[in-house]
Amino acid sequence: MVSIQGGIGYQVTDYFRIDGTVKYLGSSDFDGSSAPAGSVCNGGAVYAGFTCAYNDDSELESATIFMANAYVDLGTVNGFTPYVGAGIGGAKVKYGDLLNDQTCTVADPACDAEDFVHSGETETRFAWAIHAGAAYDVSCRTKIDAGYTYTRIEGGNMFGTGVGAVGGLTPGVAQGGNGFDRGIDIHEGRVGLRYALSDAGCHQPVASTGCI
């Protein structure tokens, strides 16, 4: 999964700053298996005299996360400034279509051909994050920032009711049920650059006493 992030912020005091960020997460494929109602052992179900199940394939097409964050800088030593922070916001989550590919224990063209397609859902969800890391002063205005972020996107719908794709099912007729996830947890280690538009927040050198 590819992640791209950018943001802009404000240094409120020497130890407190805020920012707003936008993060884009690229596609991520996933697969699994399922069975119709009335399933028996091994995840199968008696259907037209056969034992059958489904191979499920889909993808999280994208997630765009908008976050308002606040950070506390814990002091600077030799140019290094550790910090902790937290944020709240929202995420626009988009899922691709889910394909249920039906298979049977006994070869049967009608059974094997009866596949379902569930249309992927797009919705906006609540999201929050916690941060920890450290910044290093390359210059007064430029800092290298390395840290860890945990982001939680709350659960929601993944796809709607399926419709028959091919085989003995009537195209367009609802089949199966809706799908949902219990939430998305994102753990990230990241390295980036922060650039200040003014000298505010620059760390001043200790004044010389004139002694050698």
pLDDT along the chain (212 residues), means of 10: 85 93 85 57 46 73 95 93 97 87 61 69 94 93 94 89 52 58 90 82 50 47
Q: For position 9, what pLDDT does the model report?
A: 92
Q: For position 201, what pLDDT does the model report?
A: 57
Q: For position 40, what pLDDT does the model report?
A: 43
Q: Which fold has domain 3-195?
A: Porin (2.40.160)
Radius of gyration of the chain (CA): 26
Q: Smallest Cα–Cα separation from 134: which of 72, 183, 88, 182?
A: 72
Q: For position 22, what pLDDT does the model report?
A: 95
Domain ranges (residues) in the chain: 3-195
- 3-class DSSP state of 116: strand
